[in-house]
Structure 1
């Protein structure tokens, strides 16, 4: 593929963001690559001359400058389009990112050479379509969460799998996640860690007030529905972004999406080594 157009999505509050944004802009100018930023990013970083309201999928590559949250926002802005995404880590964890800041221009040089030259490959990640009462409200790279609306109360939720009732949960909430999301909110709720090379759907309760407190690892082709079964309101969030307030009887459906997230990798992706590094695990 040719590299003619590059869009940069950047974290607004990292002090080093303007420096690295300018570095990407200079690289594009030298290599005759059209460069722009979403208006909200450009304006917050005093780079108004780079602002352009064009959709991200007009670009040949998206560079995400920040942490995992910025990667999630980049995927959301791509709205399901299959554009390669290069993640540059300015955060702390960086499960999703590929490049450290000092390797930024080298990564752009290698990407410009093309995948045909063996300089990079695509790491394709499963996503979930999330619908409320039959209306699509978002796509999740990590997870959809149905949780209590009021602090200090649980919420009663009925989980269905492929149309069949599984059980009612009395809990703070339920997480429906992808393998990518197994190291996000699901992990903090004691869910399993699943390699992102798998395709699967994870159903994990949050602080359940019941004896059954286990996560389920389901087929990637199954549909999980969560109905608000009690009298209390609930909230639904997609990849951490509040999406809707649910009333009793409302149903959230999570199903495998035809869209995928496409991350650029410049070497072998060794997930277990990333886990080891992020969790500070030592050899024994």
Structure 2
């Protein structure tokens, strides 16, 4: 496999590197939950793994609107209004059954990998990347009872926009799509996971270290 280094947390969901390329994150910034190595560790790692390396697969989420596939996200899809200070209403349906209704400034549809990105800043939980699920995190919800939901990828998940206010879907902070009123977003597990070089560092050890250095 080819290896590409120095990737940001907000990797584009439609990037051409997804497929057979394994990614290795090198932290040139401040936090970088996807960056396993610091710059001074990189040369030693490459020298020790000239003959090969392990690969870790991370699920991505596939997002479609009204039957049209828009793209895959490694971190999250974000639904927000294009008018500041205006709230949106969302209906969440799991296997066709009404599961929740959110009234909020927006809604994050996150992967476990994305749980340490925007979703964490919005008050969502940190999710083990070995768990395959969809994390829904409302942004500044109107009701205190509106809490994040973690839903299995084995479920059929649909989110309806129950408002006539204009809104947008943003995939991994890169691609933006305008949503029609009462649009339906279908959420599925992508058939093409992201591949990362396995450095041997335990996930929760990395998270603990990075959170202590924020």
TM-score normalised to the size of structure 1?
A: 0.69
Greater relative contact order (CA < 8 Å, ≥ 6 in sequence): 2
Deviation, 1:79, is 6.1
1:68 to 9, 13, 20: 9
**Higher-helix-fraction structure:** 1
Q: CA RMSD for the aligned pairs?
A: 1.9
Deviation, 1:66, is 4.9
1:259 to 183, 189, 192: 192
Aligned positions, number: 213
Question: d(CA) in 2 for partners of 1:180 and 1:199?
Answer: 10
Deviation, 1:265, is 1.8
SS at match of 1:157: strand
Gaps of 5+ in 1: 1-59, 115-119
Deviation, 1:277, is 1.0
From the superposition, tell whether residues 167 and 132 of structure 1 become closer, same or farther in structure 2 (CA, over 3 Å): same
SS at match of 2:83: coil
Question: d(CA) in 1 for partners of 2:97 and 2:56?
Answer: 33
Deviation, 1:186, is 1.2
Q: Bigger radius of gyration, 1 or 2?
A: 1
1:193 to 126, 132, 139: 126
Alpha carbons 1:223, 1:256 under 8 Å: kept: no
Deviation, 1:108, is 3.2
CA-to-partner distance for each residue in 1:222-253, whole Å, 9 max, x for gaps? 23222221120111011122421112121111
Deviation, 1:80, is 4.2
Alpha carbons 1:175, 1:205 under 8 Å: kept: yes
Deviation, 1:198, is 1.4
Alpha carbons 2:9, 2:117 under 8 Å: kept: no
- Alignment match, 1:81: 19
- Alignment match, 2:207: 275
SS at match of 1:203: strand
Question: d(CA) in 2 for partners of 1:173 and 1:151?
Answer: 11
